[in-house]
Amino acid sequence: MTEKEQILKELYPEDILNNAKELTDGEVKFLKQLDDLLESKYRDSINDHWANATVPEEFFDDMGKLNYFRNPLLFEGREGAKTPSQLFQFFMSYTIARFDVSLVTLLGVHQGLGHNAFLFGGSKEQIAKYIPKLQSHELRTCFALTEPDHGSDVAGGLETTAKFDGENWIINGAKKWIGGANVSDVIPLFAVDVDTGKPKGFIIRPEQDGVDIDVIENKIALRIIPNTNIRLDNVIVKEEDRLQNINSFKDIAKILYSTRAGVSYMATGAMAGALRATLDYVTQRKQFGKEISKYQLIQEKLAMMQGNLAHAISMSAQLARMQENGEYDEVATSTAKMMNALRLRESVAMGRGITGGNGILAEYDIARFFSDAEAVYTYEGTHEINALVIGRALTGDSAFI
């Protein structure tokens, strides 16, 4: 057995169809470093952070030090490549989500939605100014699209407005559920140009006059993430801080499409975390004189969790292969997100049921995965919205309204 095969056997024992074998030696070494960091530094405190709704602040800095955008390990044997492989992106998201869903969501908002808002929406000058600092984590960002009264219908329902006065843009309105806005250095925020009726993107900073940000309290899921409300009262934005290539909702949709696959990856990793948490429990918990792992009904549920996970890993890995080849397919990504999130919901329910009363206590990992699955089921397109994307492709009829 090669060193790579040995590491993969230890790192991803639940990958029973061996999708990870296509990773390069360098990618495997990086993923091992990532897993070691999570387990050694954050394992003992992660449930406390979830229960107390606090962020392990060093996580963002630690991920920056890993240099996951440009680490030489990720380009070994991939001469000429400019970005890490899509299969690696899957397994990186998977590895973090297997540990904690809040942490992978925090990173996904920064490296996916936020970073891509600048990459896809910025001018050459804006890309040169911001992208290197976002990739190194010198700057932190988020993604301010969703509003208090608009989620899935935000394409035609943006109420935040932007008015150009001949010199500056004046922004008014509100955003909701914006993860990490309170700790971001720069916020890509979307508003409707009142003169054209078309959405535009703007670079906002939390410390600006007229920007008020507060953290949403009392969540039952993703408690580690500081989701926020943003209120904008006559916020002045210079033209140079307008994202020059965001001029329609189609431009915003490109950002959303680029990250939807990532949510299917997160759902898959969360399934693995739930399975691992349940296995850890059943091999230690005794009832009627023996470990509950020795009972048939328990093993049947564990087998179902593993089966759900094997399907999800394979779907996510194939989606990654397609995107590596430039095949960004809306129906494929919607199918992966819809089905993997649905199977996640099913798996965490089985895991929580197996762990009995202890499964509702925050000191046990399964409670965290059980609760966080509800957020994954909803964000980046609800089950129903993704179903309508698929249904439209099947029938040729749009049933959104």
User: How do residues 289-310 score in pLDDT, each as one tens digit?
Assistant: 999 999 999 999 999 999 999 9
Angstrom distance (rounded) from CA 190 to CA 203: 9
How many Å from the N-terminal Cα to the C-terminal Cα in the chain?
56
The reported pLDDT for the residue numbered 149 is 87
Looking at beta carbons, which pairs linking 319-327 to residues 24 or more positions away fall under 8 Å? 319/90, 319/261, 319/264, 320/85, 320/86, 320/87, 320/89, 320/90, 320/261, 320/265, 321/86, 321/87, 323/86, 323/261, 324/85, 324/86, 324/87
The reported pLDDT for the residue numbered 61 is 96
User: How do residues 134-189 score in pLDDT, each as one tens digit?
Assistant: 999 999 999 999 999 877 666 667 899 999 999 999 999 999 999 999 999 999 99
Residue in the block written with tokens 């600006």: 208
Tell me the chain's radius of gyration from C-alpha atoms.
21
The reported pLDDT for the residue numbered 44 is 96
Residue in the block written with tokens 């091992």: 32
342: its two tokens? 């649905």
CA distances to 22, 46, 104, 196, 293 from 192, in Å: 44, 40, 30, 8, 56
The reported pLDDT for the residue numbered 22 is 97
CA distances to 9, 22, 121, 206, 208 from 211, in Å: 49, 47, 22, 6, 6
The reported pLDDT for the residue numbered 328 is 86
3-class DSSP state of 217: coil
The reported pLDDT for the residue numbered 155 is 62
Angstrom distance (rounded) from CA 196 to CA 295: 65
CA atoms within 13 A of residue 350's CA, in its CB half-sphere: 26
Question: Residues 107, 101: contact at Cβ < 8 Å?
Answer: no
Which residue ranges of the chain lie beneath pLDDT 70? 152-156
CB proximity list for 77: less than 8 A, separation 6 or greater? 24, 25, 26
Angstrom distance (rounded) from CA 216 to CA 182: 11
Domains defined for the chain, CATH in brackets: 3-135 (1.10.540.10), 154-248 (2.40.110.10), 250-395 (1.20.140.10)
pTM for this model (two decimals): 0.95
